[in-house]
Amino acid sequence: MLHTNIIANMNEVNALPLQVKNLQITKNGNVLLKDVTLSIESNNVTVILGPNGAGKSLLLRCAHGLENLSKGSLMWNTNIPQPQQSWRAYIFQKPVLLRRSVRANLEYVLSLHSINKANYASLIDAALKNTGLGQLADRNARVLSGGEQQRLNIARAWVLQPRVILLDEPTAELDPNGTAGIERLIMTIAQEGTKIIMSTHDLGQAHRLANDIVFLHQGRLIERTPAQSFFEQPQTKMAQDFIAGKLLNGE
């Protein structure tokens, strides 16, 4: 197992199912998410798919407790999400790294939670090893390549040994080689039992990674289905058009 189990007791939370009921987000009079109702129960990779502006990132932010809901509810089992809960981690599309070493970035994340400092070294060493950053531990995070920075972004989430990791377009700014490396890392984390929920507009990536699909368009839930069914027999004209490359942003 990749997890060291040092903070397992902190994260013994029954996170699933994620229950979203009639969720609506309204800002400045604009309805950005409308009547989204879904349940996510399986402990694998769920991909939130859709064109730019569909509401994918916003739904992820709601799931992490970063947005105030205008209507409806969102709960992880019986838990209302709040930021800084160690059992759940959020990975932003663009890494925001401290101007410190790779190791110091991981130490900072641990310092935000009630974790004994005596356990820092083993947790950090595990995260570095699992993300392939061991040789870069003392390098300034700001001089890493794009792919390395995103691996550090994932390591900062993984160091907490969370039950759930939310990723917002994690390879949007990477080249094909960097993308392939991050996708392998995502699959490894999922295989170790951490629930992955990630957003993407990349059909190829969704096809490679997803066990199930949440398809959004213009803030509405259009389809919620196993990935194979979505790609082979989409249920709606919108999904068919998106797969065929005919559904443009905002249409």
Enumerate domains of the chain plus CATH numbers: 8-243 (3.40.50.300)
The Cβ of residue 79 has, within 10 Å, a number of other Cβ atoms equal to 15
Q: What pLDDT score does 157 carry?
A: 94
Residue 38 has pLDDT above 80, yes or no: yes
Rounded CA gap, 72 and 82, in Å? 16
For residues 181 and 151, the answer to whether their CB atoms sit within 8 Å is yes
What tens digit of pLDDT does each residue of 84-104 get? 788 999 999 888 899 999 999
pLDDT category of residue 2 using cuts at 50, 70 and 90: very low
- The mean pLDDT of the chain is 92
Contacts with 114 (C-beta within 8 Å, 6 or more apart), sequence order = 10
pLDDT at position 246, please? 86
Confidence bin at 163 (pLDDT 50/70/90): very high
| Amino acid identity, position 229 | S
pLDDT(6) > 60: no
Contact residues for 144 (Cβ-Cβ < 8 A; gap 6+): 102, 136, 152
pLDDT at residue 11 is higher than 70: no
Residue 94 pLDDT: 85
**pTM, whole model, 2 decimals?**
0.93
Task: Report, as an integer, the average pLDDT of 52-80.
Answer: 95
pLDDT at residue 9 in the model: 54
Report pLDDT digits (tens) over 206-251.
999 999 999 999 999 999 999 999 999 999 999 999 999 987 655 5
Per-residue pLDDT averaged across 24-33, rounded? 96
Tens digit of each residue's pLDDT (9 = 90 or more) over 102-150: 999 999 999 998 889 999 999 999 999 999 999 999 999 999 999 999 9
pLDDT of residue 248: 64
